[in-house]
Amino acid sequence: MSAQADRLGVLIAPVLAELELSLYDLDYSGGNLRVLLDRPGGIDLGAITQATRRISNLLDEADIISSAYTLEVSSPGLERNLRTPVHFASAIGREVKIKTRSSVEGERRVDGTLIAADETTCEVRFEDGSSRVLQLSDIERAKTHFVGDAAPKPGKGSRPGRPANKSSATAKKPSATAKNPSTTAKKASTTAKKPSKTQPSGEGD
């Protein structure tokens, strides 16, 4: 994570501890602050909504982001991006899809079971029993891959081999000129848009 993301992670850590949640990942770039939360047994919409409210209020009080930004809080989902050594270690035993950087020799797409990971490397085993060790620094992107156990009945549920949609809520904070905030059901996240501090206020009556 960037230095700013590290500071934000430290800031929200006490709130997450109170809510018995763990921080899976945090990314701040392009005016978007994305916070991925988890807990043993999974996280539900109620916990995400509560965490979003607490984190949003805390960021307002701390005032460490000077420009306008969008806060998105969600769960990592069944298919999780793997970016850090901790992510890879937590995914040992799961199916993964990895793409290496173009400068790395060999097949760029590496799909199989993650069987080992440490601070600098990971090892993927293929269906034929062979395996390949990769440097984490050589990986362009990686994620876990969900494999469905059974197909749903026709016309119901998700497609075979695909994870079901996650429940979620999206909420935008009003700008200086907006009248009311809106709450909309969307994908597995809660999003709050923060107004810019440099936005001029409306003229007086």
CATH code (residue 153): 2.30.30.100
Q: Could you tell me which of 21, 74, 77 has the C-alpha nearest to residue 49?
A: 74
Assess whether 111 and 175 both reside in one domain.
no
| Statement to judge: residues 159 and 174 lie in one domain | no
Confidence of residue 1 (pLDDT cuts 50, 70, 90): low
Same domain? 68 vs 126 = no
CATH number, domain with residue 34: 3.30.300
| 200 in a structural domain | no
Question: Which residue from 204, 200, 199, 181 is spatially nearest to 53, judged by alpha carbons?
Answer: 181
CB 161 within 8 A of CB 148: yes
Q: Which residue has the higher pLDDT, 137 or 160?
A: 137
Q: How confident is the model at residue 4 (pLDDT cuts 50, 70, 90)?
A: confident
Q: Give the structural domain span for 126.
A: 78-164
pLDDT at position 163:
41
Same domain, residue pair 10 and 64: yes
CB burial of residue 125 (10 Å; 0-12, 13-18, 19+): middle
Q: How far is CA 177 from CA 31, 71, 183, 191, in A?
A: 20, 19, 18, 19
pLDDT at 190: 52
71 with 54, same domain? yes
Antiparallel, parallel or unpaired: β 189-194 and 69-74: antiparallel
Strand residues in 50-197 grouped as ranges (E): 69-74, 95-100, 109-117, 121-125, 131-135, 139-144, 170-172, 182-184, 189-194
- As a whole number of Å, the CA-based R_g of the chain is 20
In a domain, 204, yes or no: no
pTM (2 d.p.): 0.68
Any domain includes 49: yes
